[in-house]
Amino acid sequence: MEGSWDLRHASNLPFFRFRRQRTDFACRGEVTSPLRQIMEKPVENSTGKAVCPYCGVGCVIRATVQDNQITRISADDDVAPNYGMLCPKGAHLKQVFQNHDGRLAYPMIRDRRGEPPREVSWDEAIAFTANRLREIQLAHGKDSIALYGSGQLDTETSYVFNKLFKGFLRTNNVDTNSRLCMSSAVVGYMQAFGSDGPPTCYDDIQHADVFLIIGANMAANHPVLFQMIRKRRALDPGVRIIAVDPRRTKTADFSDIHVPLAPGSDVAFLQLIAKRLLTMGRVDSRFIRRSTENFSAYENHLKGLGEDALLAACDIHPARIDEIVEYLSKPSRLLSFYCQGTNQSTSGVDKNVALINLHLQLGEIGRRGAGPFSLTGQPNAMGGREVGYLAHQLPGYRVVTNDMHRAYLEGAWRVPPGSIDPKPGLTAVPMFEAAAEGKVRALWIACTNPAVSMPDTKVSQEGLRRADLVIVQDCYYPTESTEYADVLLPAAQWGEKRGTMTNSERLVVRSDQFLTPPGEAKPDWWIFTQVARAMGFKRNFDFYTPEEVWDEYRMLTAGTPCDQMGMTNERLAKTSLRWPCPHPRHSGTARRYVRTKFFTDSGKAQFKTPVYQPPDENVNEEFPLGLTTGRIESQWHTRTRTGKVPQLVRRDPEPFVEIHPDDAVENGVQDGEWIYLVGRRGRCYARARVTETIRRGLLFTPFHWGDLFHAETNANYVTNPAFDPVSKQPELKFCAVRIETDNGRS
C-alpha cells in the first residue's frame, strides 16, 4: 500500500540549494591526497554524548574522555529519553574501548580468497571498490550488484548509500537487516494508518493503565523502557502488565498475567480477545464511525470465528483470556509493546494488523497512554526506514512503486527521469539466494554480519563465497563475514564520528564524536561518499561533513509523515526532537493521530481481516520439537562488541538451549549437557538448560554465537528462511528440530 500524503508543498522546496557549513571541517597536516582531506576532527580531552549503539530505546550516554580513552560512562538525569538510566550493555561501553584489539583499522584487499588480506591506502581501496562495481554492472547488468546494510548505521550513511544505489547505480537491490527485524511492523502500520512509524511516545508509559507486551522480552532487550514500566506500576498499583510469550521470560516474571501461547498463534489470541470484547459491546463506536473504515467486515469476520478453535490454536488456559478480557472490559488506556515474537513470522504482518485492529476497536490510539507501540530493535532502524533503506522504499517514507515519489527524488537528486527503477529490489533472503545462484555478483555488506544472522546461514555463506566481489565495511576484524571479503573498509564506530539516529519513539538525536578512531578508520557516510565520487558522481556527492548530508536529507522529508524539515543542524546540536517537526520553530510531536487523521487515501484507519495461519514448518515424527530463537540481556547479536566485555561474557559465556523438564526426560537430556539440535537444513550445538519457564514441545536458543566461537554453535544453521508473503520478513521464531545427544560432546 502506498502513502498518499500531500507532496505539493514538498515539490516546491529548493531541495538542491543548500548552504554549506564547513566551520568544523578539520584536516590533519600530513594528509595530502584529496581523498583524505575530508577527516573528522581529532579529539583529546572532552566529554560528549551519543546514542547508545545497542538497542532501539536510544538511551543518550555521556562519555568522559582523557587521552582518547573513555574514563567514565554516565547518563544525565535531565536528558531524554532515558533520564539517567542505562542497562548493563550501555553502562559497560567503556570496556569495549579499553584496547583496539580486533579493530579493523586499515583498508585491506584480499588478492585471493582464503589468503590473508593486505593493507592498502584508502585511495587504493576506494578506486578498487568503484572500478569493480562498475565492471560487474557493465558485464552483468545493473541488478548484478547489491547492498546489505543495517539499522545500526546512522541516518546520514543510509541516505548516502541509498542515493548512490537507487538514484545513480539505478538498482533497488538495497536491503538491510531491518528486513529480519522491522519489516512486518512497517507493513502493519502502512496497511492500517497509511504511514510507517509509531503513533506513540515514551511519555505514554506514564499514562497507560494496561500494558500488553506481546512477543517482546523487554526486561532483557529494551531494559530501560521496561524499567519505566515497572516504575509506573510502582507508583500506581492499579496498573496491569500482560506478557504474551511462549516462554516465561524475565518480562513475564514481572507481569501480572503471563500468556504462554503456542508459537505463532498471536493472531488467534488477539482475535479471541477482540471477539470476546466485541460480544460484550466493548467498541468505541464514535471513534470507529469517524476515523476508521471496514469495521463491519471486521465485525462479521470476528463473529464468524469459533472461540474454541481460536483457543485451541493458542493452546492456553481459558482463564488467561477471562482475566485479560476483564482488564480490558473497563475503559482503560491500553499501551501495547511488540517486537520479534510478532514480526519474525510468516504471518508477521497479520499479527501486527490483529493488534492494531484491537486498538482501533477500543479507540485506544491517538490519546495519552494508548496505542500500538512497535519496539525498534536497533538504534537507528527507525531512521533507516525514514531514509528508505529497504528494497521498496525511498527517502521520506516514499516507495519506488509510486510514480510521483520516484519523480520527486529524481528531481531532487538531479538524475534523468526514469533513473529510479519502479520495481522493488531484492529483499534480504532472496538477495543472498540470488548471490548463491550466481545472479548477484557483487555484495556490499555494511555494519551487519550476515554470515551469522541470516536464517539458513549456509545459503548466505554460499552467496558470500560465490559472489565475484564482496565488500565488507565493519569496525571489527575478523568477523564471520569478513572472512569472505575481497575488500575490507574500516569504519569508525560509536563515539568516533558524528551522526544522527531516530529511536523507537521518533526522537531524533545527534551524536557527538569524542574519540579518535584507530588507524585509518573512517565514518561510514564518508566511505560511501568517496566511492560515489570515485564512480564519477562528484557533484552529486559533494559532502564534506555529516551535517551537509543531514541538510540535504532533511529537506526531502518536508511535507511527508516523517517530516524533519525543522530539525536544523543548529537545533540538533543542542536538543533532540521527535518528528514530525516541519519547521525550525516547531517543538516536535509527542503523539501522532491525535486529531485522528490518518495517511490513508480516505484519511481513515483501516480495519483488516487476517486469518490465523500456523508457522510455515510442522513438527513431525522426525522433527518432533519446535525451536524458537532470540536474545539474552548480556549479549548483542553476533557479539563483535559485547563478546569482548568480560563483565557481560561472564553472565552467559556460551550458547544454551532451554528445554522443558518433561521434554528433557523424554529425550534423555541432562541439565548442562551439550546437545545437538538437528533440523531440516542443518544442526547447531548448545548446552541444555532444563527449565519450566518454557512450554512443553518448544526449545529456545539465542543466536549470538557464530562460527568464530565454534564451528557449530550458530542457531541459524537450523532456522527457516520462509518469509511473510507481504513483508518478506523471515520466520526466525519457529522451525522443527530433533535432539541428538550421542555424538560430538565437548
Ligand X SMILES: Nc1nc2c(c(=O)[nH]1)N[C@H]1C(S)=C(S)[C@@H](COP(=O)(O)OP(=O)(O)OC[C@H]3O[C@@H](n4cnc5c(=O)[nH]c(N)nc54)[C@H](O)[C@@H]3O)O[C@H]1N2
Sites of contact with ligand X (CB under 6 A) = 55, 150, 152, 177, 180-181, 214-217, 220-221, 244-247, 249, 263-264, 266, 339-341, 344, 377-378, 446-450, 452-453, 473-476, 479, 491, 493, 524, 628-631, 633, 635-638, 640, 700, 703, 715-716, 719, 732-733
| Residue 115 CB partners (closer than 8 Å, separation 6+) | none
HSE of 44 in the Cβ direction (CA atoms, 13 Å)?
0
Which partner, ligand X, Mo ion, ligand SF4, none, binds residue 90 by CB below 5 to 8 Å per kind?
Answer: ligand SF4
Binding of residue 365 to ligand SF4 (CB under 6 A): no
SS (H, E, C) 440-466: CCEEEEECCCHHHHCCCHHHHHHHHHH
Q: Identify which of residues 357 and 600 has a Cβ nearer to ligand X in the complex.
A: 357
DSSP state of 251: H
Q: Identify which of residues 86 and 686 has a Cβ nearer to ligand SF4 in the complex.
A: 86
Total number of residues that touch ligand SF4 (CB under 6 A): 13
Pinpoint the alpha helices (H) of 424-562: 428-436, 450-453, 457-466, 524-534, 546-556
Binding of residue 382 to ligand SF4 (CB under 6 A): no
Binding of residue 736 to ligand SF4 (CB under 6 A): no
Distance (Å, rounded) from C-alpha 703 to C-alpha 674? 16
Judged by CB under 6 A, which of 52, 160, 358, 532 binds ligand SF4? 52
Q: Identify which of residues 263 and 425 has a Cβ nearer to ligand X in the complex.
A: 263
Q: Identify which of residues 177 and 352 has a Cβ nearer to ligand X in the complex.
A: 177
Distance (Å, rounded) from C-alpha 352 to C-alpha 191? 10
User: Which amino acid type is present at position 69?
Assistant: Q
Rule CB under 5 A: which residues touch Mo ion?
181, 377
The nearest distance, CB 221 to ligand SF4, in angstroms, is 8
Which partner, ligand SF4, Mo ion, ligand X, none, binds residue 200 by CB below 5 to 8 Å per kind?
Answer: none
Q: Identify which of residues 220 and 535 has a Cβ nearer to ligand X in the complex.
A: 220
Residue 158: closest CA among 404, 432, 469, 473: 473
Judged by CB under 6 A, which of 38, 50, 55, 136 binds ligand SF4? 55
Q: Identify which of residues 200 and 374 has a Cβ nearer to Mo ion in the complex.
A: 374
Binding of residue 86 to ligand SF4 (CB under 6 A): yes
Helix axes 348-362, 295-304, angle to 10 degrees: 110
The nearest distance, CB 97 to ligand X, in angstroms, is 13
Binding of residue 228 to ligand SF4 (CB under 6 A): no
Task: Name the one residue in this structure whose C-alpha cell is 565475484.
Answer: 468
Judged by CB under 6 A, which of 70, 108, 213, 224 binds ligand SF4? 224
Pinpoint the alpha helices (H) of 46-182: 88-91, 93-96, 122-140, 155-162
Distance of CA 714 to the CA centre of its chain: 20
The nearest distance, CB 259 to ligand SF4, in angstroms, is 25
Q: Identify which of residues 287 and 709 has a Cβ nearer to ligand X in the complex.
A: 709
Binding of residue 57 to ligand SF4 (CB under 6 A): yes
Judged by CB under 6 A, which of 89, 179, 497, 639 binds ligand SF4? 89
Which partner, ligand X, Mo ion, ligand SF4, none, binds residue 566 by CB below 5 to 8 Å per kind?
Answer: none
Distance (Å, rounded) from C-alpha 686 to C-alpha 710? 10
How many C-beta neighbours within 10 Å does residue 8 have?
Answer: 7
Distance (Å, rounded) from C-alpha 446 to C-alpha 580? 28
Helix/strand/coil percent split, the chain, to 5: 35, 20, 50
The nearest distance, CB 87 to ligand SF4, in angstroms, is 3
Q: Identify which of residues 52 and 353 has a Cβ nearer to ligand SF4 in the complex.
A: 52
Contact 151, 177 (CB under 8 A): yes
DSSP state of 208: -
Q: Strand order in 60-66's β-sheet?
A: 46-51, 60-66, 69-74
- Quick check: helix, strand or coil at residue 220? helix
Binding of residue 501 to ligand SF4 (CB under 6 A): no
Among 19-27, 51-59, 258-266, 403-411, the segment contacting ligand SF4 (CB under 6 A): 51-59
Q: Identify which of residues 82 and 529 has a Cβ nearer to ligand SF4 in the complex.
A: 82
Q: Identify which of residues 55 and 277 has a Cβ nearer to ligand X in the complex.
A: 55
- Quick check: helix, strand or coil at residue 128? helix
Among 52-60, 531-539, 608-616, 725-733, the segment contacting ligand SF4 (CB under 6 A): 52-60
Q: Identify which of residues 268 and 362 has a Cβ nearer to ligand X in the complex.
A: 268
Q: Supply the DSSP string of 699-730, one letter for each residue.
A: EEEE----TTT-TT--GGGTS---B-TTT--B
The nearest distance, CB 172 to ligand X, in angstroms, is 21
DSSP state of 179: G
Q: Give the gyration radius of the chain's Cα atoms.
A: 25
338: β partners: 214, 374
The grid coordinates listed for 351 are 499479527
Q: Identify which of residues 55 and 288 has a Cβ nearer to ligand SF4 in the complex.
A: 55
Which partner, Mo ion, ligand X, ligand SF4, none, binds residue 217 by CB below 5 to 8 Å per kind?
Answer: ligand X
Binding of residue 223 to ligand SF4 (CB under 6 A): yes
Characterize 127-137 residue by residue with b for buried, 16 or more Cβ atoms within 10 angstroms of its Cβ, and e for exposed.
Answer: bbbbebbeebb
Binding of residue 54 to ligand SF4 (CB under 6 A): yes
The nearest distance, CB 636 to Mo ion, in angstroms, is 10
Residues making contact with ligand SF4 (CB under 6 A): 52, 54-55, 57-59, 82, 86-87, 89-90, 223-224
